[in-house]
Amino acid sequence: MAATEEPKYDVILRQDAFELRRYAPTIVAEVTLAGERDTALNQGFRLLAAYIFGGNAPKERIAMTAPVTQSPSGAGETIAMTTPVSAQAVAGEWRIRFTMPSQYALSTLPTPDDPQVKLREVPGRQFAVIRFSGFRTDGALQERTSELQAFIRSKGLVPIGEPTYAFYDPPWTLPFMRRNEVLWEVDAFEPSP
């Protein structure tokens, strides 16, 4: 069985459960939905799964990647026109994303049947990340976000926008085996000597 593709990144610093990462540019399929975080995540996952399982022209199946990311709509980006499914969204809108497999260019991806599914390029960015296992409850996400914020401050970095939540495993995965992350885009950083 082939490994699930993940967005490409370099680890610049690893310290306990924290990492500083530089992500390469990616192409994503995304939806933006209003509502409670968990409800939006589930609905967004279904819409994006429908797209990659053939809900597109020409009914092509696209390989699943990990993670599914979720962030408040507009978090960490200025958007004039979704990386791997963030403090709570004020307006209650959430952006759910799947990263597209690396063999695709924006011009070669199938066109989504559902107009809610948008395709776009995301530039390379830098993130501070905390990894954790267990359930992805609002409380767990808030706790890890606070820990990540303290780590960012301790490194003298400046957070950009709101954090993004990343979920790597299906819901039936045992809690202690789950991989979850909170990612927060940060300003430029250099590796420590």
What pLDDT, in 10s, does the model give residues 40-64?
A: 999 999 999 999 999 999 999 999 9
Q: Report pLDDT digits (tens) over 7-21.
A: 999 999 999 999 999
**Is pLDDT above 70 for 117?**
yes
Greater model confidence, 82 or 43: 43
Beta carbons of 133 and 179 less than 8 angstroms apart: yes
pLDDT of residue 73: 82
pLDDT of residue 74: 62
How does the average pLDDT of the chain come out, rounded?
Answer: 89
Query: Among 26-35, 62-71, 84-93, which stretch is predicted with the lowest mean pLDDT?
Result: 84-93
pLDDT of residue 85: 39
Q: Nearest to residue 26, comparing CAs of 130, 166, 140? A: 166
Quote the CA–CA distance of 141 and 87 in Å, as a whole number.
Answer: 8
Contacts of 44 (CB under 8 A, 6+ apart): 31, 33, 70, 85, 94, 96
pLDDT of residue 188: 81
Greater model confidence, 90 or 80: 90
Whether CATH 3.20.80.10 fits 9-185: yes
Quote the CA–CA distance of 151 and 183 in Å, as a whole number.
Answer: 12
Q: Which amino acid is at 192?
A: S
Q: Nearest to residue 119, comparing CAs of 98, 136, 137? A: 98
pLDDT of residue 86: 28
**Is pLDDT above 70 for 82?**
no
Q: Report pLDDT digits (tens) over 25-34.
A: 999 999 999 9
pTM (two decimals)? 0.87
Quote the CA–CA distance of 62 and 185 in Å, as a whole number.
Answer: 28
